[in-house]
Structures are given as C-alpha cells and as structure tokens.
Structure 1
Amino acid sequence: MPRPLDLEGPGSGVGTFDHAVEGGGRLQRTVLPGGIRVLTEAMPGQRSVSVSATVAVGSRDEHDGHHGSTHFLEHLLFKGTPRRDALEIAEAFDEVGGEANAATGKESTSYFARVLDADRAMAVDVLLDMVTSATLEPEAFELERGVILEEIAMTEDDPADVAHETFTGAVFGQHALGRPIGGTPETIRSVPREAVLEHYRRTYGPSELVVTAAGGVDHDELCELVLAGAALGGWDLAPDARPVARRTGETIPEAPGSATTVNRPTEQANILLGGRALPAGDPRRFAMSVLNAVLGGGMSSRLFQEIRERRGLAYSTYSFSSGYTEAGLFGLYAGCTPGKVTEVVAVMDEQWRALADTPVSADELRRAVGQLSGSLVLGLEDTGSRMARLTRSEISLGELWTLEETLEALRAVTAADVQDLAADLRTSPRSLVVVGPFTHDLAGELLARTA
C-alpha cells in the first residue's frame, strides 16, 4: 500500500511541506500565525483558481438552543461586513465572471470561489472579509430566517430528500450527526440572533480556519493575502498559536435497527435500506468505494442491472456511503411505484446478501476499479475538485494522498476485501425508510423479512 503525505498537526513545529506531484504541480502547506492553515496545489497551465475558506465546525457542533446556527451563518456571511454590503459582495465576483458559494456540512462549513488567476487576490480578500467580519445585522437576519424556512420547505416537498433525512436520523439516532444540517422549521423559527452571533464568535477564529486553493496559485502570495485579510478582520494572529486539534470524536452508541414509513401522497415511493458504515479515515474506505461501485455505482452495477434492466422496477437506483469522524452510513436507494416496494426491498436485500456471501468476479472487480479510477482522474482535472480534496484531507483525514497513491490504493483492493466489508456491514442493525402513499407500517413489515 502507498504511504500518503502526513499533514503535520498541532505541536509539530512549523507545520510546512513542499511536495512535487505528477504533471509538474506542487503541493504546499503552511501554518500561519494564529494557527491558520494554508494548503495549495499549483496546476501548471491553469488560468483559473479555486479557493476556499473553511472552518472545521459543522451542524454537529451546535449547542442546545443553537440548532440551525451553522447553516444560518452560511447564509448570513454573504449579507455584509463593515467593508462591503451584500450587493458589493455579489458584484465583486460577477464583474470578473467568477463564482462564489458556500456549503454547510455536519463537520465543517466552507466558503469558496472560482475566478481567473488574475483575480485571486480579490477572491481571497472578499472571502476573508466575510469569514472574519460578518455583521449579522438584525434586519438581514430576519430576512434570511424566511429564506431558510423556504429552503427547508422546498426540501420537505421532495420525497427523496425526506427519505434521506429520515434515514440519516434513523441510523445515528439521538446523536448530533442525526440532526438535519439546516435545522428544522421549529429550530429556525425559534433561534435568536444572539444565539447565532454567539455561535459565530465561538467557532470562527484563526485556529479553526483552513484556506485551500488549487489551479493558478502561488503559495507564498496566498499566505500573504490570507494574513492581510485576517489582520483586517481584527483576528489575533499570535505567532506561536497552533491549529485546533483535529476532531477525534467519541464512541457513538449504535442505534437499533428501525423501520419508518412516511405517508406522502406521491406517485412514486422512495426507499432506503442500510445502516452504519465506516468512519471517514478508515483504511477500508477504498474497499468501500469498490463495494459501492459494484453494488450500485453505475449502469453495470448489480442494483441497476437487477432492479431496472432485468425487472423494470425502477428508474433510479443506487448505493452510497458517507463517512464522518467516528462512524459513517451506508444505504441502498430506489424509487418505484408504490405497488412494487415489496419486490424492490427484497431485491435490494438479496443483492447486498449476495455480495457478502460470494466474492465478486475478477471481471466485476476490474470494472469497478476502472470506473472509480477514471472518474477520479477526470474529476481532478477541475480546480474545484482539487481544492475540495485539500480541504477534506486537512480537516478530516490528517493525510494527503496524491492521485497516483489513490489509484494504487484502489488497485490494491481484492475481492475478499469487498466480501468481508459487505458482510461486516450486514452485522450492524439495519434501518428501512419508505416514503409514499402508505397509511400502514409497510417498512416494519418489510424490514422483518430482511432479518
């Protein structure tokens, strides 16, 4: 197995590296005063740059009374600072043809932009201004409360989103990872501005900040821009400060298996079957990727071939996994007419069981690894994907895999690895969610048959 580049943590000295990668690129990392971490991947010949400012704080870190604050801040940071109002923030990117956006997760919140390399100084200045100096004005706060409620309502109108949110809650139970990232209508209506402001002041600081960039970027210049932006924001940039320790998490009690039927007057039922899976940094995550590719990752996958191609039971079907610090989740999805739910759940369980009982063939393993390898290489031609990879490596993994190392790790996965993992996943309590026009406990009846 390849040995990834270790990302130096707190107390490890200057915390820098400079590493040549394939194609003439360079990976560099510096820990700045205040504990700010800066990582870059220079991509020769690129005329664009993607840059992000991320704090290692997500919805799972909200205190009681603050639920929904993390996502609330994602919206509010675009609404103005002492140096710029909301329109000026938007105009800064529009006038150069750039793009800016943000994303809230369970374990981090990221603000990012993609611009021409000539405009990278502007992008860093605006992003750091937002992160360090958002004003969270009362009027903007109340306006955005309404916008977020509309966003939640839009999600509630999508039965597939309802199924996924219900499934996550079932798998993680009462743990914070089971909460909706955006909060609920009740928490958003009740959370006061003071609580969101307190959450902002508590969690947005230099030791939490990770700035990553990929494309047409100069590492030393970016470090200078970040320091200038943090200083303008009034942050304390103590020379001896270190980054916060990476999240180590806690033991999450395994929730019992559950069956949930959500009654919705839909033309199609949405089904999710699965349970607990691997943490983000688990060495078996490469086997998990191959397992997903074989089971539900494309048109040649077992779910697609059996449910759609051979039986015509559904249009959309796939498998998926998500990993967090202590645990992950794994699921199988399908959308079908209500009368076919029983058969679809049976096929899902049969295919999962078959993967655990019998090794995949050499041809199937080769196709899965080829699919993942090709998708990875094509995806990393984009500066945004490389930027996101740096962020995830720094915040979640503590190690950075080059493209060739990742491809080698995928090629090292064996049929036995996939079979053993599929069997391990089946030992966890399973949850089944069915969303559709059902007034009885259909999910309960069907889950009992998969035991």
Structure 2
Amino acid sequence: MYQKTVLPHGVRVVTEALPHFHSVSLGIWLNTGSRDETAGENGMAHFLEHMAFKGTGRRSASELACQIDQLGGTANAFTTQENTCFHGKVLAAELPRLFDLLSDILLNPVYDTAELEKERQVILQEIDELEDTPDEYVHVLFNRHFYGDSAFGRPIMGSADTVCNFTRLLLLDYRQSHYHPQDIVIAAAGRLEHEALVNLAAAAFGDFHNCRCSRPRQKVATYPGAHNFLKDLEQVHLVAGGKAPAAGEDSRYMAILLNLILGGNMSSRLFQEIRERQGLCYSIYSFLHCFSDAGLLAISASVSPENFEQLLDTIRREIEALKTTGVSPQELQAAVDYSRASLYLSAEDSDNRMMRLARNELSFGHYLSYEEIIDHLASVTPHQVIEKAQDWLDLGSWQIVCLGPLKASTISIG
C-alpha cells in the first residue's frame, strides 16, 4: 500500500508497505546533482556524497563503516545529473538503525580536513579509472559534446582540476545552497509501518532549515555533430544519439517502446541485424534517458576499426527502415509484453520499488501504479511510434562520438 506524508518543513515521506517481504529498502533523496553546479563546482555534489561517509558529529568514519556492516545489509550512495541518494537495504527490524545512520550522514557530516584530503585522492583515482574504461568514458565524452559547455554536459565526478580546488568551506557553501528540506524525499519499500517512518523522519529532520534560495536550473540545450578521439585501443567505442521526451511527457511511453524495438533487447532490430546476422560486434544496444526537462535516445556499440563503416551503414539503414516501413502490430505488442514482464519482475526487489517511489515523487509529485504504466504502454499505436520516430531518429540532429583507434578524418551518423 502506497502512502505519502509531507512534514512541516517540506520533507516528503513516501512508502510502499509490502508485508510479505522480510526486508525493507530506504533511500533519502535530494533533488540536486551535477547539473546544479557551476563550472568551478563541477564534481562537488559527488564529492559531498563521498564525504558524508567520512564522519559525523556522532560517529567517526570507521564507526560508520562498522555500524553499517553490523546491520548485515547494504548501504551506499550515488549521484546523478539531477539527484543525490543515500540508500540501504536491511531486515525489517533494522529499519530504525538504518534510518539513524543515513539521516546522520546527511544531516551531520563534519567534513574533516584530513578525511577530505584522503577522499580527494580516492576521487582522483575514480576519475582515472573511468578514463581507463573506454566503453564508459565514451559516454562522458558524448555528454560533453551533445550538451555542450553546460552543467548537463560536464562529468558527474568532475575533473582533476576542479576536484583539486575543493575546500571544506566551498563544500559547506555548496551544501547550504543546494540542500533544502522541500527538495528531500524519504522513500521506503518493504515490510514497514508508514507512521513509524514518519515519526523517525520528523524527529531527525524537524530542525533542518535552509532559508537560502535555490539556484534556478539552466535550460538544457543540445548540439548535433561528430567527434573522434584517437586512443590506442583494440576497438572503437561509439555513442550516437539525439533528443527524446522528458520524464513528464506522455510521449515517453512511445519512446520506451521505440527504444526496445530499435535496440533495447536481444530481439531488437539492431541486435538481430548487427550482432546475430552480420556478426559485426559483440556490444550493440540503444538506451533511453528521461530527465526532468530533457531526454536522450541513443545507440552505443564497440566494434573493430575494420568493421566501423559497415556498422554505421547498418545503423543508418535500420533507422531509415524503421522510419519508412513502420512497426508492425506484432512487433509493438512484443515490446509491450517485454515492458510488462520487466516491470513486474523488478517489483520483486524492494530496492527497485523504493527507487521507483522516489523517482515518481520527484518527477510527478505522486505515485504511478504498475497497472497505470502498463495501460499507457498498451494504448500506444504503431502510427504514434513512427510519427514520433521522425523527430527522435532525425540523424541530422544527432551527435556521434567515437573513442579508439579510428584514424578517419571525418565521421558522420547522418
């Protein structure tokens, strides 16, 4: 059963009670991420996420680590372009202890200068590790060029230059600018009692105030183009994509199904033609990201240099065929069936349910049932998918970025 309570200062508590579960998943979400940073602050939201685990007024860093392990579950955090989340999963009886730990690291971090210097080195290593992982790093390069010189286009972890300039005072000032009660969502799913969690939240967050105004978010802009980054690798890694609907747009249901048909699973057109029929590469897929006010539909692949041109030609042909010949009712129904199964299978996990609760609240301000989503997907017609595909698959507005041993002077997806 879904329930929602808004505390006096604006903190929202959303829960889904699942009495048949033995566990409970908890997340404390902030509606702030890397897109809220200035150029000099790039990576600060992620740095704050790391520093939260490095000691509070009540617990040292080592005590936090020990007490998290003693719960016997998991506890972690992550930062995205739009959110920061501190989350964990434990047996139901341990929920009060988990809440105490997560609320403590969010509300009472000390940002000890010695710990800050150590964590700076950890994050610099994390940045180096990402740059040594080409199938992930190519996405960073794509964002940089598709979204341009904007907060949305900068890497979530920041750069070595920005991370080396962060100080304790800068972290505290950023926190004061971006951590607001009205931007916090506490989400939990599993064996729980809603009122018990509300009482915990009221006690922990009752004195949490922030009168500083939030900065307005920069509007997302996108840029077509082609960029090739030469690197001594075995394969060429590429990402090519363009604009798609935002999370709140009704057309996102059409985009979900189009993505599946294009390259979202093993029976998709790209996977079947490029991997199964032609054997051009091992990794080929499409993906859809829906943000609060923007979206991205893109293709990612890794291919040997000698197969690169054939791969691009095949991608172009498959996209053109999809736009001109359309989608059959059977193909669309298969995508709906796949979505339905994926939704219900994900519901078996309390982490997935908790994250879904929070994202629904942050995106829409209310709960969307599984049945409501499936009904929306089932109502999509082949004509609607192809009509939207004319815009979303307009290769002239796409960006393509390649990373690897490709010596071609020019590349183009359009």
TM-score (norm 1): 0.88
CA distance in 2, matches of 1:230, 1:86: 22
| Correspondence for 2:378 | 411
CA distance in 2, matches of 1:354, 1:439: 29
What is the deviation of 1:44? 2.1
CA distance in 1, matches of 2:317, 2:165: 45
What is the deviation of 1:64? 4.1
Task: Name the % identity.
Answer: 38
Q: Which amino acid aligns with 1:326?
A: D
Cα 1:190–1:94 shift into 2, 3 Å:
same
CA distance in 2, matches of 1:205, 1:327: 23
CA distance in 2, matches of 1:139, 1:227: 33
Q: Is the contact made by 1:214 and 1:386 (CA closer than 8 Å) also made in structure 2?
A: yes
What's the C-alpha RMSD, in Å, of the aligned pairs? 1.8
The 3-state SS of whatever aligns with 1:35 is coil
CA distance in 1, matches of 2:39, 2:131: 23
CA distance in 2, matches of 1:399, 1:209: 14
| Correspondence for 2:406 | 438
| Correspondence for 1:376 | 343
| Correspondence for 1:59 | 34
Q: Is the contact made by 2:42 and 2:151 (CA closer than 8 Å) also made in structure 1?
A: no
Aligned to 2:319, which of 348, 352, 358? 352
The 3-state SS of whatever aligns with 1:110 is strand
Higher alpha-carbon deviation: 424-433 or 323-332:
424-433
CA distance in 2, matches of 1:306, 1:82: 58
CA distance in 1, matches of 2:218, 2:304: 41
Please tell me whether residue 396 in structure 1 is matched to residue 371 in structure 2: no
How many pairs were matched up? 412
CA distance in 2, matches of 1:307, 1:207: 47
Q: Is the contact made by 2:36 and 2:217 (CA closer than 8 Å) also made in structure 1?
A: no
Aligned to 2:197, which of 212, 216, 222? 222
Aligned to 1:178, which of 153, 163, 166? 153
CA distance in 2, matches of 1:373, 1:223: 32
Structure 1, unpaired ranges of 5+: 1-25
The 3-state SS of whatever aligns with 2:393 is helix
Cα distance per residue 1:374-429 (max 9 Å; x no partner):
01110111111110011111112333210111111111111112111211113461
What is the deviation of 1:248? 8.7
CA distance in 2, matches of 1:301, 1:253: 29
Please tell me whether residue 429 in structure 1 is matched to residue 397 in structure 2: yes
The 3-state SS of whatever aligns with 2:185 is strand
TM-score (norm 2): 0.95
What is the deviation of 1:104? 0.1
| Correspondence for 1:138 | 113
Aligned to 2:43, which of 54, 68, 76? 68
Q: Is the contact made by 1:171 and 1:329 (CA closer than 8 Å) also made in structure 2?
A: no
CA distance in 1, matches of 2:110, 2:166: 17
Cα distance per residue 1:68-125 (max 9 Å; x no partner):
1100011000111011111222222211211001010111100001000000000111
Please tell me whether residue 188 in structure 1 is matched to residue 149 in structure 2: no
| Correspondence for 1:212 | 187
Cα distance per residue 1:195-242 (max 9 Å; x no partner):
1121112222322211000001111000111112224xx5249xxx9x
Q: Which amino acid aligns with 2:393?
A: R
| Correspondence for 2:11 | 36
What is the deviation of 1:356? 1.5
| Correspondence for 1:5 | none
CA distance in 1, matches of 2:379, 2:217: 29
| Correspondence for 1:22 | none
What is the deviation of 1:350? 1.4
Cα distance per residue 1:130-150 (max 9 Å; x no partner):
111110110111100000010
| Correspondence for 1:274 | 241
Aligned to 2:123, which of 133, 148, 153? 148
Q: Which amino acid aligns with 1:377?
A: Y
Q: Which amino acid aligns with 1:287?
A: M
CA distance in 2, matches of 1:63, 1:170: 17
